[in-house]
Amino acid sequence: MGARDLLRDFFLSHLGQVLDSDQLREASGGISEWARRVRELRNEEGFQILTHNDRSDLKPGQYVLLTARPEPAFERGISKETRSLVLDRNGFTCQMCGAGAGEPHPVDPTRKTRLHIGHIIDKSMGGTDDPSNLRAVCSVCNEGASNITPDRPSVIKLKAQIRKARSDDQLELLKFLLEKFPDHAATILAKSSSPRT
Interface stretch with Zn ion, choices 50-58, 88-96, 124-132, 189-197 (CB under 5 A): 88-96
Per-residue CA distances from 82 to 31, 85, 128, 131 (Å): 39, 5, 13, 6
Find, among 79, 102, 104, the residue nearest to 92 by Cα. Answer: 102
Residue 146 backbone zone (phi > 0: left; psi -120 to 50: alpha; other: beta): beta
One character per residue 44-83, x = contact with Zn ion (rule: CB under 5 A): ----------------------------------------
Please select the residue that binds Zn ion; options are 27, 41, 65, 97, rule is CB under 5 A: 97
Residues of span 140-159 touching Zn ion by CB under 5 A: 141
Please select the residue that binds Zn ion; options are 94, 115, 117, 134, rule is CB under 5 A: 94
Nearest distance from residue 112's CB to Zn ion, in Å? 12
117 binds Zn ion (CB under 5 A): no
For residue 194, the 8-state DSSP code is S
User: Which residue's CB is nearer to Zn ion, number 14 or number 89?
Assistant: 89
Separation of alpha carbons 160 and 156, rounded Å: 6
Neighbour-count burial for 161-192, b at 16+ CB within 10 Å, e otherwise: eeeeeeeeeeeeeeeeeeeeeeeeeeeeeeee
24 binds Zn ion (CB under 5 A): no
Nearest distance from residue 156's CB to Zn ion, in Å? 23
Please select the residue that binds Zn ion; options are 96, 117, 134, 136, rule is CB under 5 A: 96
Give the binding site for Zn ion (CB under 5 A).
Answer: 94, 96-97, 99, 138, 141
